[in-house]
């Protein structure tokens, strides 16, 4: 009577096969995890750029509509002053800009003249740098306790404004309350935001705002 071969796998063979299978699974998992991480970084990076572009667009829109009253004794002073301050903190620019804008809000409904301020601050809850925009009525002027402050972006390491007159000359500050700049707005303002991308690498995004009212000191 014929008998089949009933010899099975030895314990050593089973262990070797299991080890090979585990190695293959670990390789596949590492490759899959790497792909997922790359996708996450790409997605996060795209989101960072998208948010930065939106912020820069909003800032450029407001600055482009900077307003000075007609030639009067108080033009460029008081509530209507255009004041760009040049500052630095821990090796990064920490500029601020205050001016009167005629730009419409995102909803498109006319709001009248508003005093606008862009400045960098620290979030008291996270202790992280943030970019702020403050909007107030002319009556409120630059009273820090009045108006409405809006968070534009988190993680902003620095903000830099560069001003150009109608002759193309570059200025690091612009103050219409000073005789040199009295009654004149810059022709162009370059806005630069300093922050870190998803890989914690320093990054600078820049845009320009062309002012409808041009002038030179």
Residues 66-78: what's their mean pLDDT?
Answer: 62
Give the residue with greater pLDDT, 208 vs 45. 208
pLDDT value of position 173: 94
Give the tens place of pLDDT for each residue, 129-142: 889 998 887 655 55
The CA distance from 156 to 4, in Å, is 76
pLDDT value of position 71: 57
How far, in whole angstroms, is CA 137 from its chain's centroid?
25
Please report where in the chains the tokens 């409405």 appear, as a residue: 148
Give the tens place of pLDDT for each residue, 15-61: 777 777 777 777 766 655 555 554 454 445 556 677 778 888 889 98
The CA distance from 174 to 66, in Å, is 13
3-state secondary structure 160-217: EEEEECCCCCEECCEECCCCCCCCCCCCEEEEEEEEECCCCCEEEEEEEEECCCCCCC
pLDDT value of position 33: 57
Domain limits, the chain = 49-210
The CA distance from 215 to 67, in Å, is 12
**Kind and range of the H or E run holding 42:** helix 11-64
Res 180 pLDDT > 50: yes
DSSP letters spanning 74-132: TTTSGGG--EEE--EETTEEB-EEEEEE-PPPTT------EEEEEEEEE-TTT--EEEE
Two tokens, residue 159? 């903000």
Residues 147-155: what's their mean pLDDT?
Answer: 82
The CA distance from 35 to 58, in Å, is 35
């Amino acid at each position: 009577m014929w008998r089949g071969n009933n010899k099975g796998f030895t314990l050593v063979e089973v262990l070797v096969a299991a080890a090979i299978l585990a190695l293959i699974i670990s390789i596949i998992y590492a490759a899959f995890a790497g792909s997922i991480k790359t996708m996450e970084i790409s997605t996060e990076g795209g989101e960072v750029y998208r948010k930065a572009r939106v912020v820069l667009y909003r800032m450029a829109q407001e600055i482009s509509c900077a307003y000075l009253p007609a030639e009067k004794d108080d033009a460029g002073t008081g509530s209507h002053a255009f004041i760009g301050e040049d500052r630095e903190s821990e090796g990064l620019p920490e500029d601020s800009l205050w001016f009167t804008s005629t730009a419409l809000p995102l909803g498109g409904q006319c709001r009248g003249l508003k005093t606008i301020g862009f400045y960098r601050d620290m979030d008291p809850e996270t202790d992280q740098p943030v970019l702020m925009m403050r909007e107030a009525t002319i009556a409120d002027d630059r009273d820090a306790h009045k108006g409405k402050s809006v968070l534009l972006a988190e993680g902003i390491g620095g903000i830099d404004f560069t001003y150009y007159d109608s002759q193309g000359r570059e200025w690091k500050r612009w103050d219409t309350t000073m005789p040199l700049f009295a009654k004149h707005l810059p022709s162009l303002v370059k806005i630069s935001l300093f922050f870190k991308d998803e890989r914690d690498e320093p990054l600078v995004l820049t845009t320009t705002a062309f002012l409808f009212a041009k002038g030179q000191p």
